[in-house]
Structure 1
Amino acid sequence: MYAIIGAAGKVGYATAQVLRQANVPVRAILRDAAKATPLREIGCEIAVADVHNTSELASAIRNAEAVHVIIPPSPQHKDGAQDMRDIITSIIAALEQEKPNRILAISDYGSHVARDIGMPTVFRGLEERLRNLPGNKIILRTAEHMQNWARAIPAAMESGTFVSLHDPLDTPFPTISAPDLGKIAAEVLLRDAAGEKYDIVHAEGPRRYSANDVAAALSDLSGRPIKAVALPRSEWQTAIERGASPSLATLLVKANYAQNEAGVVDVEQGAGEVRYGKTELIDALRPFVSP
C-alpha cells in the first residue's frame, strides 16, 4: 500500500495516477471528502484525516509500505507559517507511531541553506526531523511550480504587464510543472529500495526560465503583448498579503529575496540526483490563458 498525504492536489493526484497505472494499491489521504471522486475513479482507497490530528493521520497511514508526504500551505489561515509547522509536527508524530518502511517527502529547493530564507527553511525543519525516523527516507526537493503564476495571469491579461518578484528579469531560475513533480515522485517511489537510507532527489523542468520568458509565453498564448516588470521589493509584503496571512507572506518574501541571489535557492551541490520534468512553461500556462 502506498499512502499519499495531500492526494487531492496537483502533485498528489499525479503521483496517484502513475502508481495506479503501475497497478499498485494507493490510499489517498484527504482533508476534504468532497475531493475524493477523481481519486476514487482511478482506483484509490480513500481515507479522510485532519492533518492536524496525529491520531487520524496514524490511522490513515497504518499498514502502508510507503508514505508520500505533501505539506499543504494554508493561505487563509491567520498564521499560515505556524500552521505549516504544526502540520509537520503532526505528520512526524504519526510517522513515528506507524513506522512505514519508506517515506518520500516533498521539500523545497534551498532547504539545505543554513540561514533563514523563509519557506525553504520551513522545509529544512521537515528534513531534519525526517532524518531521525527509521527506514528508507527520500527527500524530493522541488523547484518553484509553474502553476503558481496562474494567480498573476488575469491582471497581466488586463494590463499587459506581468508583475514579477524575480529580478533581474532576464535571469533564468529553476521551475517545474506540478504534475511533473508528482510523476517524478511516483517513479522514485517505484524504484527498489530498502534499509536505513536517506536520499535526496531534486526535481525541475526541462529547462530554466526567466520572468521575461513567462511574459513571452503569456504573449504567445494570448496573442497580445505582455511585458514583465519587477515589483519593487518594498511592495512585496503588501502584495503577497492580498492572498496569504502576514506570516506566510513573510516566508515567501524571504524566499524570493534568496531566490534572486544567484545559486542560493538551487540544487545542493554534491547532494543527490536531479530529475527533469518534460512540460515546457508555455504548456503549463496554457490552461490558464484564454486567447
Structure 2
Amino acid sequence: MFVIFGAAGNVGKASAAALRRAGRTVRAVVRNEKQGEFLAGIGCEIAVADLFDTSAVARAIEGAQAVQLLCPVPHAHTDPADAMRHMIDASVAALRAAPPQHVLALSDYGAEHESGTGITTLFHYLETQLQTVDSRLTFLRAAEHMHNWARTLPTALACGVLPSLHHPLSKRFPTVAAQDVGLLAADLLLDDGARQGSPRVVSIEGDERVSALDVARTIGDLAVREIVAREVPRDQWNAMLQGAGLGELYARLITDLYDAHNAGRIDVEAQSSERRFGTTKLADVLAAILPRVAAAARTAEAAR
C-alpha cells in the first residue's frame, strides 16, 4: 500500500496516477470526499484526514508500505508557521508510532538552512523531525513551482504588468512543474533498494532556469499581447501581499523567502543531493493555466 498525502494537489495527483499506472495499491489522503472523486475514479482508496490530528494520520497510514508526505503551509491561520509546525508534529508522531518501510517527504530548495529563509525554514523543521522516524527517508526538494505564477496572472492580463519579487528581473532562478515533481516522487517510492544511514536527498528543477523577464515574455506570447515585468520595490512587498489578503505573519514568511532567494540562498544543495531535471516547459504550464484565469476574469467583469 502506497499512501499519498495531499493527493488532490498537482504533485500528489501526479504521484497517485503514476503509481496506479504501475499497478500499485494507492490510498489517497484528502481533506474532504469531493477532493477524492478523480482519485477514486482511477482506482485509489480514499481516506479523509486532518493533518493536525495524530489519530487521523495514524488511521491513514495503517498498513502502508510507503508514505508520501506533504505538509502544506496553512496560510489561512493567523500564525501559519506555528500551525505548520503543529501539523508536522502530529504527522511525525503517527509515523514514529507505526513507521512504514519508506517515507518520502516533499520539501523545498534551501531546506538545509535552519533560519533566515521564511517559508523554507518550515521544510527544514519537517526534515529534522522526520529523522526521528525509524523508516528509510527520502527528502525530495523541489525548486519554485511554475504554477505559483498563477497568482500574478490576473494582474498581468488586466494591466499588462507582471509584478515580481525576484530581483533583479534578469536574475535566472530554478523552477519546476508540479507534475514533474509528482512523477519523480512516484519513481523514488517505487525504488525499493535498501539504503541505510542518512536520508536520501534528491533535488528537482526544470531543464532550464528562467528570469522574471522570461516569465513575462512567455505570458505575452501566450496571451498575444505585451506583458512587462516590474520589480516590486522591497519597501512595498508587505503592503502588496497584505493587500492581496495575506495575513501579516504569512506575508513576512514570503518576504523573508524572497530576500533569501535574491541573496542566492535558495538553490540546490549541490554537494549533498542527487540532481534530477523535469522536462515540462514553463510555456506548457502557463498555457494550461491561462484559459482558466482569463475565464475567471471575464466572469468577474460580467458580474460588475
1:250 corresponds to: 252
1:274 corresponds to: 275
State the shift of 1:151 in Å.
Answer: 1.2
CA contact (8 A) 2:116 2:260 kept: no
CA contact (8 A) 2:96 2:132 kept: no
Report the count of equivalent residues: 290
CA contact (8 A) 1:109 1:143 kept: yes
2:298 corresponds to: none
State the shift of 1:46 in Å.
Answer: 0.6
State the shift of 1:167 in Å.
Answer: 0.6
Further displaced range: 270-279 or 232-241: 232-241
Task: Give the whole-Å Cα distance in 2 for the aligned partners of 1:145 and 1:119.
Answer: 14
Task: Give the whole-Å Cα distance in 1 for the aligned partners of 2:193 and 2:256.
Answer: 36
State the shift of 1:77 in Å.
Answer: 2.1
CA contact (8 A) 2:4 2:12 kept: yes
1:192 corresponds to: 192
Superimposed CA distance per residue, residues 12-57 of structure 1 (whole angstroms, 9 cap, x where no aligned partner): 0010011011000100011111111000011101111111100011
**C-alpha RMSD over aligned residues:** 1.3
TM-score by length of 2: 0.92
Q: How does 1:110-189 map to 2 (within 5 A)?
A: 110-189=110-189
Cα separation, partners in 2 of 1:245 and 1:260, compared to 1, 3 Å: same
SS at match of 1:50: coil
CA contact (8 A) 1:79 1:248 kept: yes
Is 1:6–2:9 an aligned residue pair? no
State the shift of 1:132 in Å.
Answer: 2.2
Task: Give the whole-Å Cα distance in 1 for the aligned partners of 2:114 and 2:71.
Answer: 21
Q: Which runs of 5+ in 2 are unaligned?
A: 295-304
Further displaced range: 80-89 or 19-28: 80-89
Task: Give the whole-Å Cα distance in 1 for the aligned partners of 2:119 and 2:16.
Answer: 26
What amino acid is the match of 1:135?
S
Q: Which runs of 5+ in 1 are unaligned?
A: none
CA contact (8 A) 1:201 1:274 kept: yes
1:22 corresponds to: 22
Superimposed CA distance per residue, residues 216-250 of structure 1 (whole angstroms, 9 cap, x where no aligned partner): 00010000000101001111122222243222221
Is 1:41–2:44 an aligned residue pair? no
Task: Give the whole-Å Cα distance in 2 for the aligned partners of 1:111 and 1:47.
Answer: 29
TM-score by length of 1: 0.96
Task: Give the whole-Å Cα distance in 2 for the aligned partners of 1:74 and 1:239.
Answer: 20
CA contact (8 A) 1:135 1:196 kept: no
Task: Give the whole-Å Cα distance in 2 for the aligned partners of 1:68 and 1:180.
Answer: 15
Q: How does 1:181-220 map to 2 (within 5 A)?
A: 181-197=181-197, 198-220=199-221
Is 1:228–2:229 an aligned residue pair? yes
Task: Give the whole-Å Cα distance in 2 for the aligned partners of 1:159 and 1:175.
Answer: 25
Task: Give the whole-Å Cα distance in 1 for the aligned partners of 2:245 and 2:188.
Answer: 33
Task: Give the whole-Å Cα distance in 2 for the aligned partners of 1:214 and 1:110.
Answer: 22
Task: Give the whole-Å Cα distance in 2 for the aligned partners of 1:144 and 1:179.
Answer: 13
What amino acid is the match of 1:150?
A
Task: Give the whole-Å Cα distance in 2 for the aligned partners of 1:196 and 1:67.
Answer: 18
CA contact (8 A) 1:141 1:200 kept: yes
Task: Give the whole-Å Cα distance in 2 for the aligned partners of 1:274 and 1:74.
Answer: 29
Task: Give the whole-Å Cα distance in 2 for the aligned partners of 1:244 and 1:83.
Answer: 15
* Runs of 4+ displaced beyond 6 Å: none
What amino acid is the match of 1:67?
V
Task: Give the whole-Å Cα distance in 1 for the aligned partners of 2:195 and 2:114.
Answer: 28
Task: Give the whole-Å Cα distance in 1 for the aligned partners of 2:175 and 2:245.
Answer: 21
Superimposed CA distance per residue, residues 46-74 of structure 1 (whole angstroms, 9 cap, x where no aligned partner): 11111110001101101100000011122
Q: How does 1:47-86 map to 2 (within 5 A)?
A: 47-86=47-86
Task: Give the whole-Å Cα distance in 2 for the aligned partners of 1:179 and 1:236.
Answer: 29
SS at match of 1:87: helix
Task: Give the whole-Å Cα distance in 2 for the aligned partners of 1:243 and 1:214.
Answer: 24
SS at match of 1:36: helix
The sequence identity of aligned pairs, in percent, is: 41
